[in-house]
Amino acid sequence: MICGVDEAGRGPLAGPVYAAAVILDPGRPIAGLADSKALSARRRAALSVLIKARALAWAVGHATVEEIDRLNILQASLLAMRRAVERLSLVPTEVLVDGPHCPQLGLRVRGIVGGDAEVGAISAASILAKTERDAEMLRLHARFPQYGFDRHKGYPTRRHLRELQRHGICEEHRRSFGPVKRILVGEIG
């Protein structure tokens, strides 16, 4: 009952940070699991469906923009991870987290740097976290089309920075992040 955990969305200037927790079923293997960043959007979507159908348990959690700004992105990521693990329908015997930082849980937890490329359950969590966050960014695009969230998913691309300059920030921008903070100060000052 090993649970893999990973997050998506630490670097963007907008939107929540997501995390997923997955307990794979050894009797129902899923070919092609890998770090979500190494997969195309189409492949991630197909694998997401398989993971949800074949895993013993899976869950997703997130931390809001407000929580990111209040706690900082690392603590918000750990909060999203904890929420994902706590939503699992099964209690894992061990939790393996991608990276050196682990959420506080009443379970045995171990961080594995590069785990999303080495441990199937972490790869699966990486894929679910990324696909769920991307879906949220598409919903945000429908509300705030001027920023182009459907293309850059909130990351600080040239287009996003240009649109921030043009339109200012919206409620989904992380005010504690440098580029957003500079625009906010410019708007106020």
pLDDT in tens, 66-125: 999 999 999 999 999 999 999 999 999 999 999 999 999 999 999 999 999 999 999 999
The helix (run of H) or strand (run of E) holding residue 187 is helix 178-188
Mean residue pLDDT across the chain:
96
Confidence check: pLDDT of 187 > 90: no
Angle of helix 158-167 relative to helix 178-188, nearest 10 degrees, comes to: 20
Say if pTM beats, i.e. exceeds, 0.85.
yes
Hey, which bits of 33-162 come out as E strands?
A: 57-63, 94-98, 108-112
Q: Is 8 helix (H, G, I), strand (E, B) or coil?
A: strand
What pLDDT does 175 receive?
96
Q: Which CATH architecture has domain 2-142?
A: 2-Layer Sandwich (3.30)
